[in-house]
Structure 1
Amino acid sequence: MSDGNDFLKSMTISTSGLRAQAGRMRVISENIANADSTAKTAGGDPYRRKVPTFSSELDRTMDARVVSLGRIKPDNSAFRTRYEPGNPAADANGNVKYPNVNTLVEMTDMREAQRSYEANLNIISATRRMIQRTLDILKA
């Protein structure tokens, strides 16, 4: 039989997953919001896609491995370019750089992050139900 510490460990691990996925969704949202932006100066670089990373660490109080949002790294892939000589962001050749953000990829990543978030939320809900059932048994 498990003790209350197992319930707390489960909640701690799932809560860390919630926080990490929420951070991931914020980064993805920023990428989507800037997908069609251009540079502020002619010929300059536009928004560069950001890539969230995760790190694993030990929660010493619970003796559990938890996940956290790690460094946010820039995606160094090439910018998209279009020939738009009338655009204020165009370089001397009339080319405009657009962010290296693929909205379809971002939406796919967002859906995956949402599913991971929901999975962690379901674990927390199931753990709460188990705690409540345990308390009900102890009261009887």
Structure 2
Amino acid sequence: MGDLFTSLSLAASGMRSQAIRLRHVSENIANADTPGYHRKTVAFTPDPDSGVVSAGPVQLDRSELTRIYDPGHPMADETGHYDGSNVDLVIEIADAREAQRSYEANLRMFDQARQMTTGLFELLRR
């Protein structure tokens, strides 16, 4: 019985972590055109004892920002350039799709464990 509840806990932690990841991906997409914006990433840290996964601290991608030439932009320097963001929409969409699929896999696992728990309770009631 404990294994069923453990699997529910593991699946719930996976869904929670992927939801956090998806929130940061959507922030990145929303700020893709914001000057000086650094892409946010989040790493997952598993608990070695229980296997529960949690989202670690948010980290900023420190890769170089794109230099954009627009002399009329208020943030442009004397050469007419300003720093854009380092968000690559193709990468963000791929990360969003991966987070979605991981979330769905954890949801299916959660649902299966819930159905097994319900079936077990039905057997115990008889």
After TM superposition, is the score higher than 0.5?
yes
In structure 1, the residue matched to 2:30 is 33
Is residue 6 from structure 1 mapped to residue 20 from structure 2 by the alignment? no
CA distance in 2, matches of 1:19, 1:47: 25
SS for the counterpart of 1:10 is: helix
TM-score, scaled relative to structure 1: 0.85
CA distance in 1, matches of 2:47, 2:122: 34
Give structure 1 regions of 4+ aligned residues with deviation exceeding 3 angstroms: none
- Give the deviation of 1:131 after TM superposition: 1.1
Task: Work out which of the two has the higher radius of gyration on C-alpha atoms and give 1 or 2.
Answer: 1
- Give the deviation of 1:105 after TM superposition: 0.4
In structure 2, the residue matched to 1:17 is 14
> Residue by residue, what CA displacement relative to the aligned partner does 1:50-92 show, whole Å, maximum 9, x if unpaired?
111111125xxxx622110002111111111121101111111
Is residue 57 from structure 1 mapped to residue 47 from structure 2 by the alignment? yes
What does 1:23-102 correspond to in 2, within 5 Å? 23-38=20-35, 46-58=36-48, 64-102=50-88
Aligned length: 126
- Give the deviation of 1:136 after TM superposition: 2.2
- Give the deviation of 1:96 after TM superposition: 1.9
SS for the counterpart of 1:16 is: helix
Higher helix share: 2
Please, which runs of 5 or more residues in structure 1 have no aligned partner?
39-45
CA distance in 2, matches of 1:47, 1:138: 56
Identity, in percent, stands at: 42
In structure 1, the residue matched to 2:120 is 134
SS for the counterpart of 2:52 is: strand
Higher strand share: 1
User: Residue 51 of structure 1 aligns to which amino acid in structure 2?
Assistant: T
